[in-house]
Amino acid sequence: MKIKNKITAICLGVFSFTVTAQTTNDLKLWYDKPAAIWNEALPLGNGRLGAMVFGDPAVERLQLNEETIWAGSPNSNAHSKSLKALPIVRQLIFDRKFDEAQELATQDIMSQTNDGMPYQTFGSVYISFAGHQKYTDYYRDLDISNATAKVKYKVNGVEFTREILTAFSDQVIVVKLTASQPGQITCNVFMNSPIDKTVASTEENQIILSGLGTNFESVKGKVKFQGRLSAKNKGGEINASNGVLSINKADQVTLYISIATNFKNYQDISGDEIAKSKEFLAKAEVKDFETIKKAHVDYYQKFFNRVSFDLGTNELAKRPTNERIRDFSKQFDLQLASLYFQFGRYLLISSSQPGGQPANLQGIWNDMVTPPWDSKYTTNINAEMNYWPAEVTNLSEMHEPFIQMAKELSVTGAETAKMMYNANGWVLHHNTDIWRVTAPVDSAASGMWPTGGAWVSQDLWERYLYTGDKNYLKEIYPIMKGAADFFLDFMVIDPNTGYLVVVPSSSPENTHAGGTGKATIASGTTMDNQLVFDLFSNVIKASKIVSPDEVYTKKISEALAKMAPMKVGKYSQLQEWQDDWDNPEDKHRHVSHLYGLFPSNQISPIKTPELFEAAKNSLNYRGDESTGWSMGWKVCWWARLLDGNHAYKLLQDQLHLVTAEQRKGGGTYPNMLDAHQPFQIDGNFGCTAGIAEMLMQSQEDAIQLLPALPSVWKNGNIKGLVTRGGFVIDMTWKNNKVLELKIYSKIGGNCRLKVENTLKGSSIKKAKGNNPNPLFYNVEVKKPIISDQAKLEKVKLPNYNVYDVNMKAGQTFTFYGN
């Protein structure tokens, strides 16, 4: 149901039109039946605690997580055996003996102890209601406008309601049980866990579940955890015995659940989980539900309400969410796209809070002891993708856990760099965990990729471009410099090409045509070159701002000059490797060599049109449908390729309902979580970032408005997007043209705008010369090597008007289109 809250934007007397503002009713995922499986349950989270709400009337299940319950304990998986193997592996690669090189790397360079620890579930709380198997008028929802979940149904004419939240301010999970008639709430509450060695007990009308994270591979489990549950009732009685809380004939009940561990940081697990669990519960249970809810909602909306997005609505918005996802590619459901965008923001707020751990492969939601890929931090794309929406969708604070992890990785990675490669600086391979391991893990096919530190550093730099915070830049510059120091030591000249290369490495997880066609290990892959190019370029820029060092920056510049340019191959594609090995029939989920298109800006329709067209060809060859996170990345790429209709087609592919019966292929589960398959949260975050890129881009020397607007999004408005340079954009459009634009400057500077139609306003001027704002992300790259066989079409671009608006920090200007 849509509330008709209307806003009228008047355009200089030329014309006016009406758009409907986004309301809280637009921001609910709702269903007419309980969740039968985990991928139908609804996620709640406060960064530290996560809950999946199933909503079964007879037996409610709340599957719970605490962000620091991991297997194992502080450890390092670095080793020195690699020192002898490294030069041999390199020579084998240079001799084109890729299979032998990969076999030796797997044996002597990959971790000799463990491949990282898994993130683990706490367990579940069950609330059992006798006689509630037969019910009517069922409804459940997740309201992402206030981060609460609700379940309603009737039994024998009595309406029962459950409201659940994971309180941001009070750090507990709270459940309110009510009924439309007094004395109707009778239920039993208990907790259990799939983790071995958990113990349920009772203490002073509280039920308790205590446990220990498991041993894994060679590492002993030492994370202790404890959950406590208490209840407050109006009417009726409550008794606790043998790990069960029994409630009899109450009018209303509030359940309070606390969870804590002994984890302090990646090096220290000396905390007191019992004292912390008691303290969280004691502070919360003196408050009633409404008091906790108000503080929770106030905190959450401080972040969530910064951005609103409205494309309009129609009758489809009245249907259950799972049906809307199922039919999205067949029926025109405008509002589902904006709900999906905001759901991504909701998930980031809920899984990544300042002072806590960054969102892992599943955010904070996991019901297993050993989940797929251990729910670790996969740094060859997935961990970084989680944070693509952070700055652009006005959630900069949510970025802080990832930045803290980077600081910690620079410490553990320095030990690994020295021990394994005798290199200065710090290194990160394709995976890490809560203990911040940095050695290569799994097998050389995926793990022999030492370029994670460059990508993490790129993410740190991007935050500076959005915030302009020089104190922050001083803080993270040593991390960026340390990553650069590693590559200055690790890179060598490839005797076959004469270029300075990262070797051994890979184009993440993809095999190439060298050797028997089964190896991934290679020299100087395109993605490595792009990542190191960005890292070296950004360190030079950062050094000039925070720590001028001409000798050091000259050294980096000399290294840059020795690196290979991007190449266009025989199929007019951007080459994935230095050799022209690409197969146009390859449909691999990783398209790593397009990092230079997005999230980087080395491939531009204006400055590198040959590369731009080659990247488009590569993406067309790779195809649209893929795993969930891969389709999220493809939304971003097609937005950067200025093709809004193709980006929207990828959204349709992604918002394809994946059911329990479907075993292959990506898409979206009924609860709107990304299906890799299985669940990975990065696809949600990638699509949210991609939608932002469709509406606004700021990666070159200007803010481009509606650069990839799909024809179906003819009218709409968005408020609160943030650009590089620190400008906040509110924008309304009609007939695919900007109608009204409001710009707020956080830090001051020249705001350069690119827009297809003309803008009017007293403070706006036609742009002349280069943009003087240094915070716009604008890199220069070498010209590509284009093979004789490559045939590239001329890039066709829209005609843009370019304007300048000089702004001071805190100023707001409004402009109108005609």
Q: What is the mean pLDDT of residues 511-527?
A: 96
Residue 2, pLDDT above cutoff 80? no
Sequential DSSP letters for 52-72:
EE---SSEEEEEEEETT-BSS
Report the C-alpha gap between 621 and 250 in whole angstroms.
Answer: 63
422-469 pLDDT per residue, tens: 999 999 999 999 999 999 999 999 999 999 999 999 999 999 999 999
65-94 pLDDT per residue, tens: 999 999 999 999 999 999 999 999 999 999
For residue 545, what pLDDT is reported? 96
Q: What is the mean pLDDT of residues 106-116?
A: 96
Q: What is the mean pLDDT of residues 594-620?
A: 96
For residue 133, what pLDDT is reported? 96
**Residue 215 gets which letter from DSSP?**
P
Q: Label residue 546 by pLDDT band (50, 70, 90).
A: very high
Residue 513, pLDDT above cutoff 90? yes
Residue 165 contacts by C-beta under 8 Å, 6 or more apart in sequence? 44, 147, 148, 149, 173, 174, 292, 293, 296
553-575 pLDDT per residue, tens: 999 999 999 999 999 999 999 99
In the chain, % of residues over pLDDT 90? 90
Q: What is the mean pLDDT of residues 731-758?
A: 96
- Structure-derived torsion over alpha carbons of residues 503, 509, 513, 517, reported in degrees to the nearest 10: 110
Query: Does the residue 262 lie in any domain?
Result: yes
CB 600 within 8 A of CB 612: no
Report the C-alpha gap between 220 and 213 in whole angstroms.
Answer: 9
Exposed e or buried b per residue across 751-772, where buried means at least 16 C-beta atoms within 10 angstroms of its C-beta: bbbbbbbebebeebeebeeebe
Residue 375, pLDDT above cutoff 60? yes
Pairing of strands 785-786, 567-568: parallel
In the chain, % of residues over pLDDT 70? 97
For residue 367, what pLDDT is reported? 98
Domains contained in the chain, number: 1
Query: Does the residue 644 lie in any domain?
Result: no
Report the C-alpha gap between 496 and 508 in whole angstroms.
Answer: 22
CB 45 within 8 A of CB 350: yes
For residue 25, what pLDDT is reported? 64
CB 452 within 8 A of CB 436: no
Q: What is the mean pLDDT of residues 514-535?
A: 97
Query: Does the residue 473 lie in any domain?
Result: no
Pairing of strands 716-722, 308-310: antiparallel
Helix (H, G, I), strand (E, B) or coil at 142: strand
For residue 23, what pLDDT is reported? 52
Which single residue is written with the structure tokens 């790129």? 458
Residue among 747, 667, 697 nearest 464 (CA): 747
Report the C-alpha gap between 790 and 805 in whole angstroms.
Answer: 41
CATH of the domain at 178: 2.70.98.50
Q: How many CB atoms are located within 10 Å of the residue 1 CB? A: 9
For residue 795, what pLDDT is reported? 86
Residue 539, pLDDT above cutoff 80? yes
Q: Label residue 24 by pLDDT band (50, 70, 90).
A: low
For residue 447, what pLDDT is reported? 95
Query: Does the residue 394 lie in any domain?
Result: no
For residue 11, what pLDDT is reported? 28
Q: What is the mean pLDDT of residues 173-189?
A: 98
Q: What is the mean pLDDT of residues 632-645?
A: 97
Residue 554 contacts by C-beta under 8 Å, 6 or more apart in sequence? none
Query: Does the residue 324 lie in any domain?
Result: no
Query: Does the residue 198 lie in any domain?
Result: yes
Which of 455-464, 468-477, 494-503, 624-633 has the least mean pLDDT? Answer: 624-633
For residue 21, what pLDDT is reported? 42
Structural domain harbouring 297: 32-72+120-305
Residues pairing with 253 in the sheet: 177, 233
754-797 pLDDT per residue, tens: 999 999 998 999 999 999 999 987 778 888 999 887 888 888 88
Query: Does the residue 251 lie in any domain?
Result: yes
CB 574 within 8 A of CB 526: yes
Residue 20, pLDDT above cutoff 50? no
Residue 682, pLDDT above cutoff 60? yes
- Structure-derived torsion over alpha carbons of residues 633, 635, 774, 543, reported in degrees to the nearest 10: 0
Q: What count of Cα atoms within 13 Å lies in the side-chain half-sphere of residue 171?
A: 17
The type of residue at 239 is: N
Residue among 803, 685, 53, 701 nearest 392 (CA): 685
Segment holding 177, helix H or strand E: strand 173-179
Helix ranges restricted to H, 568-608: none
Pairing of strands 749-755, 801-807: antiparallel
Query: Does the residue 536 lie in any domain?
Result: no
